[in-house]
Amino acid sequence: GDSVTQMEGPVTLSEEACLTINCTYTATGYPSLFWYVQYPGEGLQLLLKATKADDKGSNKGFEATYRKETTSFHLEKGSVQVSDSAVYFCAPAYSGAGSYQLTFGKGTKLSVIP
Amino acid sequence: DVKVTQSSRYLVKRTGEKVFLECVQDMDHENMFWYRQDPGLGLRLIYFSYDVKMKEKGDIPEGYSVSREKKERFSLILESASTNQTSMYLCASRHGVRFNSPLHFGNGTRLTVT
């Protein structure tokens, strides 16, 4: 079935360090790709998305590029802040019969220390 | 902004009790979902509903049922709570027309079954 593999955490970085969280997805069909973020004590919220190859999603200084050739959607940020401490989830969305069976990566917990 | 409201943030129930978790969304979304979130396991889909009175099993429906009598409300029912149902429960909704619409999550209900 459709699946997603996400870099395991936890990840601990100093403020202003660079961040990359790897995500690869099963190459079944042509999914749209999402990153969600979960801040402490809250539900998930959409961080960014991309709907076709070579699209770049961006928000709050985070970026991710839809790479069809490597089936990847890695999350990057050039300079993290303490307020970025959260759990990040990669999630592909497929059309068709499986469109309701949304699959999430297991989440990567990021801690940013001052 | 879409608001998804879960009725309780924290709930403590006894083994064997019938438990109701309520979720309400205010954006006329067709699709609604119930997930549970456990450390190391990520998000797992329990049930979803693509429209009023419609419901489908997700990946882990055993021990749960759902009700969708009105479009804005999606209830998760634990018929006879057990300790292995201690978890964080997340409700989400989505506009149903396009498969790549993002999910909107509530803040979660942390259920403890003793």
Residue by residue, DSSP assigns B55-114 as -EE-S--TTEEEEEEETTEEEEEESS--GGG-EEEEEEEE-SS-TTPPPEE---EEEEE-
Asked whether A16 and A82 are in contact (CB, 8 A), the reply is: no
**B6, closest residue in chain A (CA to CA):** A43
Q: Once rounded to an integer, what is the mean pLDDT over residues A72-99?
A: 91
pLDDT surpassing 90 at residue A70: yes
The distance of Cα B111 from the centroid of its chain, to the nearest Å, equals 12
Q: Which of A42, A101, A104 sits opposite B107 (nearest CB)?
A: A42
A29 confidence band (pLDDT: 50, 70, 90): confident
**Residues in chain B within 8 Å Cβ distance of A93:** 99-100
pLDDT digits (tens, 9 = 90+) for B45-101: 999 998 999 999 999 999 999 999 999 999 999 999 999 999 999 999 998 767 778
Q: Once rounded to an integer, what is the mean pLDDT over residues B10-34?
A: 96
